[in-house]
């Protein structure tokens, strides 16, 4: 596989990884904007705008957009996070020109008032649907509690009030400020010719506007600390949901690999300390831990749900487990097992063009560089007892913020 890089005159960055043996190709526009870049007046606009991108352009209405993706057998979608919005598709290699035509076109949407009003109802319904899902509601409360006034605590969906008040002109202003060529990079991975691809993109995207785009408050977060109870009637929420968030390494930190190994050893879905302490004996129905790497900040997320009668025992087990790991670290056997799991998942994922496209896009967004599979495997393999101790000392697990969501009024 070979890596290619080109930048158009307007600042749009084009990244490519060619793999002549691949039977497909994946392409995506990575926009460096999300809920952390919003003000309270337009909370939820990034996610709303993601929906509107598919509603049509000067050349296509929503029906035609859908039809043109379907005609080439595209597996297309998009997502919005606190930091990024990503529009992507996978096709057979012969359909790359047609994919460029439709995917690049929808990145310049009409944002018609009629479509805006129709989709607003869809977004408001989505907010209600998520609010009644206790797992998501617990996560949303926990993030807001941990991050406080930091923009990483902003809700991706926004609120019923913010979406109701949002106008089409506010969305257009946000789009014009954030969807500039200099704030977007385009990634393609699979079986294709890069020079021909650049010509296609120059024709389709070379006239996109450019300019300076800033992101504020790229700072680490210490967290609110303490225990925060969100009590819900048992007839509404039958289980107790618990989240513990503690500061961790940012996406560009050299400690991020040690953090990933640590989180996997503690809270992987199988064979981890939490699995044997909570899931296997049946104290918790689900339990897991992961490392979330963001721009300028990071965090560990531990989540579990259980019968309300078990929550005090579960919380005691987790806090004691955290203390033991913080004091004594991990064993070499645990580290090796976690590294093997992570490496295996990386290798398997690398065989899919969509996964390679996503990884290249993420690395460029957070590191400003290309990393191949060998780079990742070497960094994972380099994690050892010393680096685990370094990440534990720099980001103590004991610095957690606990949020409990459910029928219980206390967890200790």
Burial 276-290 (b: 16+ CB within 10 A, else e): ebbbeeebbeebbbb
Gap between the terminal Cα atoms of the chain: 54
Known catalytic membership, residue 161 = no
From the list 38, 50, 83, 376, the catalytic residue is 50
Structure tokens belonging to residue 44: 């939820």
Structure tokens belonging to residue 43: 């909370």
Burial 178-187 (b: 16+ CB within 10 A, else e): bbbbbbbbbb
Own/partner long-range contacts of 111-114 (Cβ < 8 Å, ≥24 apart): 111/52, 111/55, 111/168, 111/171, 111/172, 111/175, 112/55, 112/56, 113/168
Structure tokens belonging to residue 92: 């057979």
**Dist CA 94 CA 79 (whole Å):** 26
Known catalytic membership, residue 50 = yes
Q: Is 69 left (phi over 0), alpha (psi -120 to 50) or beta?
A: alpha
Listed in sequence order, the residues at least 6 apart from 2 whose beta carbon sits closer than 8 Å to its beta carbon are: 17, 18
From the list 58, 83, 94, 119, the catalytic residue is 119
Structure tokens belonging to residue 142: 């926990």
**Dist CA 339 CA 159 (whole Å):** 40
Structure tokens belonging to residue 201: 């993109």
Neighbours of 221 (CB within 10 A): 22
Indicate which residues carry an active-site annotation: 50, 119
């Amino acid at each position: 596989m070979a890596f290619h890089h080109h930048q158009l005159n307007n600042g749009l960055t084009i990244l490519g990884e060619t793999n002549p043996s691949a039977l497909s190709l994946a392409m995506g526009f990575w926009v460096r904007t999300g809920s952390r870049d919003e003000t309270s007046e337009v909370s939820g606009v990034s996610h709303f705008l993601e929906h509107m991108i598919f509603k049509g352009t000067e050349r296509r209405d929503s029906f035609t957009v859908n039809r043109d993706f379907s005609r080439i057998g595209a597996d297309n979608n998009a997502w919005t996070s606190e930091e990024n919005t990503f529009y992507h598709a996978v096709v057979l290699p012969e359909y790359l020109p047609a994919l460029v035509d439709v995917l690049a076109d929808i990145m310049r949407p009409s944002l018609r008032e009629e479509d805006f009003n129709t989709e607003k109802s869809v977004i408001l319904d989505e907010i209600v649907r998520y609010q009644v899902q206790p797992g998501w509601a617990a996560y949303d409360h926990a993030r807001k509690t941990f991050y406080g006034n930091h923009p990483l605590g902003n809700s991706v969906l926004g609120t019923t009030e913010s979406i109701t008040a949002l106008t089409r002109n506010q969305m257009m202003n946000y789009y014009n400020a954030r969807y500039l060529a200099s704030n977007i990079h385009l990634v393609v991975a699979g079986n294709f010719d890069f020079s021909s691809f650049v010509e296609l993109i120059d024709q389709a995207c070379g006239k996109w506007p450019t300019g300076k785009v800033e992101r504020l408050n790229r700072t680490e977060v210490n967290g609110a600390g303490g225990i925060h109870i969100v009590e819900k009637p048992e007839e509404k929420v039958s289980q107790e949901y618990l989240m513990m968030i503690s500061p961790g390494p940012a996406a560009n930190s050299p400690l991020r690999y040690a953090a990933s190994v640590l989180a996997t050893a503690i809270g992987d879905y199988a064979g981890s300390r939490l699995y044997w302490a909570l899931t296997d004996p049946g104290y918790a129905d689900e339990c897991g831990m992961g490392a979330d790497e963001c721009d300028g900040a990071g965090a560990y997320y531990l989540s579990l749900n259980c019968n309300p009668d078990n929550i005090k025992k579960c919380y005691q087990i987790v806090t004691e487990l955290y203390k033991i790991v913080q004091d004594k670290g991990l064993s070499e056997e645990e580290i090796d097992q976690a590294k093997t799991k992570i490496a295996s998942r990386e290798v398997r994922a690398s065989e899919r063009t969509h996964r390679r496209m996503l990884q290249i896009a993420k690395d460029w967004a957070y590191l400003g560089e290309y990393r191949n599979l060998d780079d990742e495997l070497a960094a994972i393999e380099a994690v050892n007892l010393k680096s685990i101790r370094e990440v534990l000392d720099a980001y103590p697990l004991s610095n957690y913020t606990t949020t409990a969501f459910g029928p219980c009024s206390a967890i200790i």
